[in-house]
Structure 1
Amino acid sequence: MKAIEMDQNLAINGGTKTVTKAFPWPIYDEQEVDAVAEIVRSGKWGNPDCGDQVAKFENEFAAYCGSKYAITCVNGSVSLRLALIACGVKPGDEIIVPPYTFITTASSVIECNCVPVFVDIDPDTYNISPAAIEAAITPRTKAIIPVHFGGLACDMGAIMDIANRYGLKVIEDAAHAHGAEYKGKKLGSIGHVGSFSFQSSKNLTSGEGGIVITDDDELYAMMHSLRNVGRIEGGQWYDHYNPGCNYRITQMQAVLLSNQLKRLEGQTRRRNENGLYLNQLLETVDGITPLQRDESITMHCYHIYIFKYDSAKFGGLPKDTFAEMLAAEGVPSFKGYPHPLYRQPLFQNKNFMCYAIPETADYSEVNCPVAEQACNTDAVWILQHAMLGEKEDMELFVKAILKIQAREKD
């Protein structure tokens, strides 16, 4: 990056922003508009009573991921629930999850009458620690939900080895990981089931929506049935075999996703390239440490670009204040989660309502030190749409950080 004289007048105090460019999301043009308009004009909006756009997208997404099957549903929370039920969980079963993720990774477990068991994350990647997974396994453990947080692949080799040795199901939470890869395989296609979200912030979006992928015939049949009010393929419309609900998406969402999917690979490669470049730049900044990625990460989709912040190198400036300053400088950024999931009122108050969670489930003493530190002092996020910028934008992101650092050292 070229040496640039630092503007000491911080934007948060009324100074000039370092980054003035907008990073729009979602990205679309007339092809999306025309595709949705065509469905509207046809009057065939539903699924599966008319039209075949949903099946078309499911086939496209399965092929993109290298999986045999894909089943759409209303959102990425329901997709996790479908996967858990299809994997045969029973009331009181334990499901291992990380604490540094969105609430639904754990609340979907509660909805299935199972017990989330929180284990800590790796300090270098912020993904679930395989060693912590193995240490938490009990006779009641049924499944593991590794979250590819920010689009960075978990250590799937180690996780699948543990699952195979203990006879556990692996449900990949790939809500952040559209297009990302581990050793050349698309994330979501490595475990028994992969779950994705199409919520508005996601790298592939239709505003809302979700999908599960699998190669397993039995898992596919059950998830397909649960998504469609318990019906089975080949059965009659008013015959219901399983306790499912109407979790179907619409034809309009499907055509939007089909068109957005055409953009995904190019966007993923752009984010990956910018992430690698930003890593190089930030490695030279004292007090800033990018998360690690090794040779197993053959594609990172950077739904969130995360770096670790050391306040001691910024004059003791607290992380929350630093994050506010960075956002004010025009960098699309955020301080991240305020606390690990087990500190949410849902778990601290055991507000499980009618769900069959054993009284022994107690989260008052749970403590995952790495997740605590990430939330409290270390982790700062740059959001995915910013990673679609140019190399010059990555340089400006670093300039904004250096501007804050120079100001705080004065």
Structure 2
Amino acid sequence: MKTINRRHFLKASAIAGAGLALAPKLSFAQGTQSNNKPVLLGGRKPSYNFSRWPIYDQTEEKALLEVLHSNKWGRLNGSITTKFEAEYAKIHGTAHSLAVSSGTSALYTMFGALNVGPGDEVILPVYTFVASYNVVVLNYALPILIDTDIETFQIDTKKMEQAITPQTKLLMPVHIGGSPADIDTILAIGRKHNLPVIEDACQAHLAEWKGKKVGSFGLGGAFSFQSSKNLNCAEGGAITSNSKEFIDRCYSFHNQGQGGTGTSYEMGSGVRGTNLRITEFQAGLLLAQMSRLEQQARKRSENAAYLTRLFNEIPGITPAKLYRGTTNSAYHLYMFRYDQSKFAGLSRDRFIEALSAEGIPCSRGYGQMNSSDYVRGLASNKHYLKIYGEKTMKEWLERNQCPQNDKLTKEQSLWFTQTMLLGERSDMDKIAEAVRRIQKFAKELKK
């Protein structure tokens, strides 16, 4: 698949002054130069101040008070959730949206609507948050973990098709970090094998593929409003879809198998349901937070593109690439790779320590989920042994080998979170300058 660097896709856009005032600020000490020593070697510690996240003002306060005084706090007798769903569908260009209690609930609800269960296989990336895996095993289906395209951090679609068997129930790509997976290729695989595609877009608010928002391509898309997300209400989620029949089944599943009246069963005999409803308070907060969503998204994109230009000039720092169809990344995460050979053999952990001392939080990101005790333990789970048998579960462990992901996560992967990209452009200069400073003194930092 062809990929492009982040710097080639950004469209120039201006941010209103009010939006700039709301953005978190990164403040570093003035006069920092590349010949100054890093903090770990006795250099001056930069001053910095991350603004709180989430960002809020009287808009959120008013929204919460309106729900409080309405005496209608739940979606079954309130109207705010319905209003939010209409707005959320509108910004994603989908016919329908359903608000639920979390991003995990959004995925779980869609699995319920599709009646995923024992004997089914679900294809998903190994490089993802564990919730993507959990929704599969909660249904006693078999998660088939696919290796990573190391340049993009996304699912490797070449290996995706190879993993399909007669038991495959659906394809579940994840738009990890807020950057779209290779949607065109994935949809083509789904059509070829007559398999539905569910987009895990929990980190990808307003991300775009060829000018269309993610979550609008597959049968359904899942979004998360957990407290770290670009749009959040502490916990919450949503499903987007262009299929009324599918969204109706999702509504019934998340509402105890009943329709909107709470009296008639909609799902049919023997199909499960549960309570995964969102509250009116959460929906009100989300409507308030959405008033800043587009401004913040533009700010992240501008800063990410600029930071990428700076990082491309530093040997050993390689920003994650975007597929050619990407017209916007949500940049929930700014992902990049680290090559210690270009830093005099300075280990990745020591690099993170040095960068953190400079006042720049940095993470290794996700690990080797397929080889974790948590996931490997599924092979000895008594319920799975009863359903699939010992031979199948041993084979499952072998199927989940992901060597490229091992290489990425053991040696190279790093990321910044989305709040780092809500500062000023000068902050991006200072981040890059800190990396150059660490590189210059890498030999001394090793000691």
Whether TM-score is above 0.5 comes out as yes
Change (3 A) 1:34 1:306: same
Q: Counterparts of 2:317 and 2:295 in 1: how far apart (Å)?
A: 28
Alignment check: 8 A CA contact 2:249 2:266 kept = no
- 2:144 maps to a residue whose letter is V
**Counterpart for residue 163 of structure 1:** 190
Following superposition, the deviation at residue 292 of structure 1 comes to 1.0
Following superposition, the deviation at residue 53 of structure 1 comes to 0.4
Q: Counterparts of 2:266 and 2:365 in 1: how far apart (Å)?
A: 46
Q: How many aligned positions are there?
A: 407
Gaps of 5+ in 2: 1-30
Aligned partner of 1:256 among 270, 285, 293: 285
Following superposition, the deviation at residue 88 of structure 1 comes to 3.4
Alignment check: 8 A CA contact 2:199 2:215 kept = yes
TM-score, normalization by structure 1: 0.94
TM-score, normalization by structure 2: 0.86
Once the two structures are superposed, what CA deviation does each residue of 1:18-55 show, in whole Å capped at 9, x if it has no partner?
Answer: 4613143111111101210221233221221x220011
Following superposition, the deviation at residue 346 of structure 1 comes to 2.4
Change (3 A) 1:17 1:173: farther
**Secondary structure of 1:270's partner?**
helix
Change (3 A) 1:364 1:17: farther
**Secondary structure of 1:172's partner?**
strand
Q: Counterparts of 1:109 and 1:14 in 2: how far apart (Å)?
A: 49
Q: Counterparts of 1:60 and 1:385 in 2: how far apart (Å)?
A: 24
| Correspondence 1:10-409 to 2 at 5 A | 10-12=38-40, 15-18=43-46, 20-48=48-76, 50-234=77-261, 236=263, 242-337=271-366, 339-350=367-378, 352=381, 354=383, 357-359=387-389, 360-362=392-394, 364-365=397-398, 366-409=400-443
Following superposition, the deviation at residue 65 of structure 1 comes to 0.5
Change (3 A) 1:31 1:289: same
Q: Counterparts of 1:198 and 1:12 in 2: how far apart (Å)?
A: 37
Change (3 A) 1:216 1:370: same
**Secondary structure of 2:184's partner?**
helix
Once the two structures are superposed, what CA deviation does each residue of 1:206-258 show, in whole Å capped at 9, x if it has no partner?
Answer: 00011111111221111000111111245627898542111111111000001
**Counterpart for residue 7 of structure 2:** none
Alignment check: 8 A CA contact 1:76 1:210 kept = yes
Following superposition, the deviation at residue 83 of structure 1 comes to 1.1
Q: Counterparts of 1:271 and 1:406 in 2: how far apart (Å)?
A: 28
- 1:219 maps to a residue whose letter is F
Change (3 A) 1:187 1:329: same
Once the two structures are superposed, what CA deviation does each residue of 1:118-142 show, in whole Å capped at 9, x if it has no partner?
Answer: 1111121010111111111111111
Gaps of 5+ in 1: none
Once the two structures are superposed, what CA deviation does each residue of 1:298-319 show, in whole Å capped at 9, x if it has no partner?
Answer: 1111100011000111121111
Alignment check: 8 A CA contact 1:23 1:389 kept = no
- 1:93 maps to a residue whose letter is D
Q: Counterparts of 1:17 and 1:92 in 2: how far apart (Å)?
A: 56
Alignment check: 8 A CA contact 1:182 1:299 kept = yes
Alignment check: 8 A CA contact 2:85 2:99 kept = yes
Q: Counterparts of 1:233 and 1:53 in 2: how far apart (Å)?
A: 15
Change (3 A) 1:255 1:6: same
- 1:164 maps to a residue whose letter is R
Q: Counterparts of 2:51 and 2:328 in 1: how far apart (Å)?
A: 22
CA RMSD of aligned residues (A): 2.1
Identity %: 38
Following superposition, the deviation at residue 344 of structure 1 comes to 2.3
**Secondary structure of 2:289's partner?**
helix
Q: Counterparts of 2:263 and 2:322 in 1: how far apart (Å)?
A: 50
